[in-house]
Structure 1
């Protein structure tokens, strides 16, 4: 992402075309958070549907306000010790001219801030899938507030802020493999190690209640991801954004095929959940790499991610951590795969002249990618676990056992996702003499 600032130095005047393009991309990235809400909401049981939706939606409110107050300044302000940024003129987004450009790009600073805000909103929402069924909504809201402040804003500066240690080291992260996906996946692992497993984990069936919702959410994520990825070049004057757009589609398609092939061999069926999860794993993996690899490289990245992420989601049963909706298996593992494969598949003809091992560049870039990957992973894992522990020991992170068993939707939101008995429901339209009414109601498994 930041490389676009350097390459656009010869075009310092505002471009209406690039500005409009980036506003559209910002809206597409915003759509990803509701898409994620549907994706996660369909994967949980009926009794947790609304809570899962709300855990994503609340991020839209909390992170937006924090970003305006200080988040943008911390992430992209003047470097302070390679760890954080700060610019007092950006506090409250004050003292910013309407046509003031972001660095040497052709887009207004306001537009860049809005685009990056959507990334900041989505990242903590990704974590929520690992915590399904058991976290107090108030505790989750507090965790988001603390996490973006302590973890996301500084890590965004490390990776994309001029002067950040990963930026200066030369770590390539086009659109968020480290700053978004590894960051969120490591955070999810840290939190679930603190709060523990769901009641009935590995004993009770916890199947998705609505696979159509899962597919809808995956489709919205895929659609929005074009803005997420292609927009991260901050314009398309040199074709790199177009390369990223194509690679996003190619890698995602390859990952769907890779996941489904593994699933058929391993479990004997091609599932819709596998197709949706495979798509997300491909999107995650190409996010850091898409500006550096060719479409053939994108096929390799997608296939590898699809297979390895499909294998990784089962690790929670082997190691006993309850990652409810496979955030660790898809986002952490997918982010690591995509980030590290840059060291092998970078062509030197995309976003920079850096070439990977398979293109004559040796292993120099691979070791830089390792530093970025494991630096972010370690910090996010530890910091997130500490924040969760502080909340858990003060106001408590988990709902009570009775509330978890009865349903977190009713306990936390006083609502249910589906009304099977109220006026206008199926029972109301079924004649009282028909035996179908009670039989149908028994099919709903909380």
Structure 2
């Protein structure tokens, strides 16, 4: 066992876990003051539920034996053989590791990815979702969508190769552009359709109630993303260093790209635009962080920041209410980052004379995840809406859902009133 790499993986897992509270702050600052508790609880609820499901059976589904897994990756739903329920095999390995680091460290690292991916979706349904319905959706979507899709990309711990997207298809996705961002973005679009538009949906419907809170959240996301990207190498080496510097360059450039578009369109760049640009750049560099040089990371960031700044208006043109731009940032940014590998990826990009084959692989993998996630999320969401109901009552939505759903306010300002 390499103690240095073990520590690297464990600390990377801690960094990524911090991203979910960071996301809660980022989303919380963007919504109304009377729904900030509800918004943040969607992230914290995801953390609690998905962590438990991951230990019970999520890891077993995601990292089922590749030879038997095929398309879905579930030969042993509750984990027979090496992936025993309760992670018994991994506990035994932790006492006497057979590899460079205990498999349990990898279990922990991948758990944080599952938690964050589910939480990302919640931004699409801000201000109008029941907490209980969201938790039900989160459990079903994690089980039926995230765990299998993550296996398509990340199932490499035993073979050194990925699931069908990475191994059989030949797409490149270093840290989860498909499994995390396209996956969550497509599900967010589906839920936005299921729940419908907020009252008075139009441009300018909702101004962020707490800009500093959003900036704090963006800062925590950026910090945690170093564990997300560099940590995906599972070793403190040169590839991790490349992923690290690209995780600085791309979001910084994306911030500039987003602000430039805002300035050209509205005459001024905003702090919310800067924070959104950072997140868009982080999304785009996720699949490509180990496949492109830092100069190209800057190019990718500039393009992604500009395109995503324009893409967030698609909801007004197409008529779906993606409250906090999960589609415009995560789906669009994830697609750009994943496809960019086929354009200027080292040793595979067509700009370097390697043809369009890799770009095709990237496109097929991206579209497969997008369609599967969208269809499944739409089905799960409609099933919940038609049974227990997914959206809060109209009067609660207008009044603010914090008191109706959670019985508390984010800001009491010293008041002793009940």
Please give the TM-score of this superposition, normalised by the length of structure 2.
Answer: 0.94
Deviations 1:113-167 (A, max 9, x none): 0000000000010000010010100000000000000000000011121463212
2:50 aligned with 1:56: no
Q: RMSD value over aligned CA atoms?
A: 1.4
| 1:220-299 equivalence runs, <5 A | 220-237=220-237, 239-299=238-298
Deviations 1:245-281 (A, max 9, x none): 0001000110000000111001111100000000000
SS of the residue 1:95 aligns to: helix
Change (3 A) 1:131 1:227: same
2:193 aligned with 1:193: yes
SS of the residue 1:92 aligns to: coil
Deviation at 1:204, TM superposition (A): 7.0
Change (3 A) 1:33 1:193: same
Deviation at 1:236, TM superposition (A): 2.5
Q: Assess if the C-alpha contact under 8 Å between 2:30 and 2:210 holds in 1.
A: yes
Residue 409 of structure 1 is matched in structure 2 by 402
Q: Assess if the C-alpha contact under 8 Å between 1:100 and 1:109 holds in 2.
A: no
Which of residues 385, 389, 399 is equivalent to 1:392? Answer: 385
Deviation at 1:205, TM superposition (A): 3.2
Rg larger for: 1
Cα distance in 2 for residues equivalent to 1:332 and 1:81:
26
Cα distance in 1 for residues equivalent to 2:70 and 2:190:
26
Which of residues 364, 375, 388 is equivalent to 1:382? Answer: 375
Cα distance in 2 for residues equivalent to 1:272 and 1:203:
18
| 1:335-354 equivalence runs, <5 A | 335-348=334-347
2:357 aligned with 1:364: yes
Please give the TM-score of this superposition, normalised by the length of structure 1.
Answer: 0.88
2:321 aligned with 1:322: yes
Residue 218 of structure 1 is matched in structure 2 by 218
Cα distance in 1 for residues equivalent to 2:128 and 2:88:
40
Deviation at 1:101, TM superposition (A): 4.8
Cα distance in 1 for residues equivalent to 2:95 and 2:413:
53
Q: Assess if the C-alpha contact under 8 Å between 1:83 and 1:164 holds in 2.
A: no
Deviations 1:48-93 (A, max 9, x none): 1000110000111100110011100100121322321444243111
Cα distance in 1 for residues equivalent to 2:265 and 2:72:
44
2:119 aligned with 1:125: yes
2:27 aligned with 1:40: yes
SS of the residue 2:252 aligns to: helix
Cα distance in 1 for residues equivalent to 2:375 and 2:411:
38
Cα distance in 2 for residues equivalent to 1:359 and 1:234:
28
Figure out how many residues of one structure are paired with residues of the other and give that number.
402
Residue 302 of structure 2 is matched in structure 1 by 303
Which of residues 407, 411, 416 is equivalent to 1:418? Answer: 411
List alignment gaps of at least 5 residues for structure 1. Answer: 1-13, 349-354, 425-446
Cα distance in 2 for residues equivalent to 1:175 and 1:205:
35
List alignment gaps of at least 5 residues for structure 2. Answer: 157-161
Q: Assess if the C-alpha contact under 8 Å between 2:203 and 2:316 holds in 1.
A: no
Change (3 A) 1:204 1:291: closer
Cα distance in 2 for residues equivalent to 1:414 and 1:231:
39
Cα distance in 1 for residues equivalent to 2:44 and 2:140:
17
Residue 134 of structure 2 is matched in structure 1 by 140
Change (3 A) 1:224 1:130: same
Residue 159 of structure 2 is matched in structure 1 by none
Cα distance in 1 for residues equivalent to 2:328 and 2:384:
25
Deviations 1:394-415 (A, max 9, x none): 1000010011111110100000
Cα distance in 2 for residues equivalent to 1:336 and 1:222:
20
SS of the residue 2:259 aligns to: helix
